[in-house]
A and B are shown apart, each in its own frame.
Chain A
Amino acid sequence: MFIKIAAKSLLSRKGSVLLSLMAMTISIFVLLGVEHIRQQTKENFSSTVSGVDLIVGARTGSLNLLLYSVFRIGSPTNNIRWETYENIASNNKVKWAIPISLGDSHKGYRVLGTSTDYFKHFSYGKQHQLVFANGHAFDQVFDLVLGSEVAKKLGYRLGDKIILAHGIATTSFSMHDDRPFTVTGILEPTGTPVDQTLHVSLQGIEAIHIDWQQGVKTRNSTLTQKELEQATLQPKSITALMLGLKSKIATFQLQRAINKYPKEPLAAILPGVALSELWQMMSILENTLLLVSALVFIAACLGVSAMLVASIRDRSREIQLLRVIGAPAYFLFLLIELEALLITLLSCLMGAGLLTSCLVFSQDYLVSYFGLHIDINIFTENSLYLFAAILGASVIVAVIPSISGYNQAKFIKN
Chain B
Amino acid sequence: MAIELSNIHFYYPDRPDHLILDIPSWSLSEGEQTFIHGPSGSGKSTLLNLLGGLLVPSQGKINILGQQLDEMTGRQRDKFRADHIGYVFQQFNLMPYLNAFDNILLASRFSQKQKSSALESEIKELLTVLNIPQNDWYRSITTLSNGQQQRVAIARALINKPQLLIADEPTSSLDAANRDAFMTLLKSIVKEHGMSLLFVSHDLSLSSHFKRIEPLSEINHIEDAA
Do the two shown chains form a genuine complex with each other?
A: yes
A366 at the interface (CB under 8 A from B): no
Contact yes or no, A324 B78, CB < 8 A: no
Contact yes or no, B12 A325, CB < 8 A: no
In the complex where A1-B109, A4-B102, A414-B46 touch, is A326 in contact with B95 (Cβ < 8 A)? no
Closest CB of chain A to B74's CB: distance in Å? 7
Tell me what chain A mostly uses at the interface: helix, strand, loop, or mixed.
Answer: helix
- Point out the residues of chain A lying under 8 angstroms from B83, CB to CB: 326
Closest-by-CB residue of A relative to B92 is: A317
Binds A, one of B28-36, B48-56, B212-220: B48-56
A317 vs B83: C-alpha distance when bound (angstroms): 21
- Point out the residues of chain A lying under 8 angstroms from B54, CB to CB: 323-324, 412
Interface bits A292-329 vs B (CB < 8 Å: 1, else 0): 00000000000000000000000001101111111111
- Point out the residues of chain A lying under 8 angstroms from B158, CB to CB: none
Closest CB of chain B to A88's CB: distance in Å? 77
Q: Which of B104-118 contact A (CB under 8 A)?
A: 105-107, 109-111
Q: Which of B71-85 contact A (CB under 8 A)?
A: 74-75, 78-79, 81-83
Interface bits A109-134 vs B (CB < 8 Å: 1, else 0): 00000000000000000000000000
Contact yes or no, A414 B49, CB < 8 A: yes
A62 vs B52: C-alpha distance when bound (angstroms): 78
B151 at the interface (CB under 8 A from A): no
Q: Which of A400-414 contact B (CB under 8 A)?
A: 410, 412-414
Which of A11, A320, A326, A410 has a CB less than 8 Å from the CB of B81? A326
Contact yes or no, B105 A1, CB < 8 A: yes
A9 at the interface (CB under 8 A from B): yes
- Point out the residues of chain B lying under 8 angstroms from A87, CB to CB: none
Which of A321, A326, A331, A414 has a CB less than 8 Å from the CB of B92? A321
Interface residues on A, range: 20 to 34
Closest CB of chain A to B79's CB: distance in Å? 7
- Point out the residues of chain A lying under 8 angstroms from B55, CB to CB: 412
A256 at the interface (CB under 8 A from B): no
- Point out the residues of chain B lying under 8 angstroms from A328, CB to CB: 74-75, 78, 110
A5 vs B94: C-alpha distance when bound (angstroms): 13
A327 vs B156: C-alpha distance when bound (angstroms): 14
Closest CB of chain A to B42's CB: distance in Å? 11
Contact yes or no, A5 B49, CB < 8 A: no
A318 vs B94: C-alpha distance when bound (angstroms): 8
In the complex where A1-B106, A414-B45 touch, is A325 in contact with B97 (Cβ < 8 A)? no
Contact yes or no, A326 B79, CB < 8 A: yes
Contact yes or no, B49 A325, CB < 8 A: no
Closest-by-CB residue of B relative to A327 is: B110
B98 at the interface (CB under 8 A from A): yes
- Point out the residues of chain B lying under 8 angstroms from A327, CB to CB: 78, 110
Contact yes or no, B81 A5, CB < 8 A: no
In the complex where A8-B98, A12-B97, A412-B54 touch, is A329 in contact with B74 (Cβ < 8 A)? yes
B93 at the interface (CB under 8 A from A): yes
Contact yes or no, B98 A326, CB < 8 A: no
Closest-by-CB residue of B relative to A318 is: B95
Q: Which of B43-67 contact A (CB under 8 A)?
A: 45-46, 49, 52, 54-55
Which of B46, B87, B106 has a CB less than 8 Å from the CB of A5? B106
Contact yes or no, B49 A412, CB < 8 A: yes
Which of A5, A9, A321, A322 has a CB less than 8 Å from the CB of B93? A321
Closest CB of chain B to A141's CB: distance in Å? 79
B39 at the interface (CB under 8 A from A): no
A321 vs B152: C-alpha distance when bound (angstroms): 14
Closest-by-CB residue of B relative to A317 is: B92
- Point out the residues of chain B lying under 8 angstroms from A412, CB to CB: 49, 54-55
- Point out the residues of chain B lying under 8 angstroms from A326, CB to CB: 78-79, 81-83, 107, 110-111
A328 vs B79: C-alpha distance when bound (angstroms): 8
Closest-by-CB residue of A relative to B87 is: A324
A-B contact pairs, 6 of them (CB 8 A): A318-B96, A321-B95, A323-B78, A324-B52, A328-B74, A412-B54
18 new A-B contacts at CB < 8 Å, known A1-B102, A323-B54, A326-B79: A5-B98, A5-B106, A12-B96, A12-B97, A317-B92, A318-B95, A318-B96, A320-B92, A321-B93, A321-B95, A325-B81, A325-B87, A325-B107, A326-B81, A327-B78, A328-B75, A412-B54, A414-B45
**Residues of chain A whose beta carbon lies under 8 Å from any beta carbon of chain B:** 1, 4-5, 8-9, 11-12, 317-318, 320-329, 331, 410, 412-414
